[in-house]
Amino acid sequence: MIRAITIDDEPLALRQMEEYVKTTPFLQLAGSFDNALDALAFLQEEAVNLMFVDINMPDLNGMEFVKSLSDPPAVIFTTAYSEYAVEGFRVDAVDYLLKPISRVDFLKAAEKARTRILQSPAEEPTVKHGEDHLFIKSEYRIVRVNYSDIRYIEGMREYVRIHQENKPPVMALMSMKKMEEALPKDSFMRVHRSFIVNLNKIDTIERQRIIFDEDIYIPVSDQYKDAFQAFLDERFLK
């Protein structure tokens, strides 16, 4: 699934693009914004594959917005003015849609974006290790993550979300396998296809589930339960 965002300061145009994205089977609407500054803040926290960006916007126009990104996702520009087409392709845009945008034209552009995204092998960022931390690429930043801050790690298709204590989650393009290999084996354990837990943060276990908070239950799947039980047996007071 391709995670996409839409950016347009015109409410009607924004709603139309939202609807087009939502009804396209291979697209997932990750966010919708009426200005580029809010979209920029979103991109600093979330992973996105594709952006539909209006060019004519106040404060920061779409072209300036894309140029400001050091490693932008695939871009499809939308505008009512045809004179921007050449400049749009100079920033390696996938396509350029002239308003009013028909569903047929939208689907053609979205398919071109899907082809480009799927044909470009996603490079998993190299994880750099330290004695008590790692550095990981999260969107357009290199983020330090202390092992002691990690509570658990959640797999989300081709991404991982690192949940920390008293800090916002960090999201990175990386497989769970690569993440598992990067962590100290004596402190972290994979307990489910979609979860790695910090063994030092476990307080309560109930019915094959690790409970971090009242609303956070991490299941221990059959594939990993023997290893997890062995960890418990080593520390169980008999």
Which tens digits make up the pLDDT trace of 91-121? 678 998 999 999 999 999 999 999 888 775 5
Query: Is the previous residue joined to 169 through a cis bond, with omega within 30 degrees of 0?
Result: no
Predicted local distance difference test score (pLDDT) of residue 85: 47
Tell me the per-residue pLDDT of 171-223, one tens digit each, with 9 for 90 and over: 887 888 889 998 999 999 999 999 999 999 998 998 889 998 878 899 999 99
d(CA 157, CA 140): 20
pTM of the entire predicted model: 0.53
Task: Catalogue all structural domains in the chain, each as residue range(s) with its CATH number.
Answer: 2-119 (3.40.50.2300), 128-235 (2.40.50.1020)
For the ranges 14-23, 33-42, 56-65, the lowest mean pLDDT is seen at 56-65
Tell me the per-residue pLDDT of 61-77, one tens digit each, with 9 for 90 and over: 888 898 888 778 899 99
Given a contact cutoff of 8 angstroms between Cβ atoms, the answer to whether 83 and 108 are in contact is no
Tell me the per-residue pLDDT of 145-160, one tens digit each, with 9 for 90 and over: 999 999 999 987 678 8
Nearest to 189 by CA among 152, 159, 237, 233: 152
d(CA 149, CA 198): 9
Give the contacts of 92 (CB within 8 A, at least 6 positions apart).
75
d(CA 195, CA 218): 7
Q: Residue 124: pLDDT band by 50, 70, 90 thresholds?
A: low
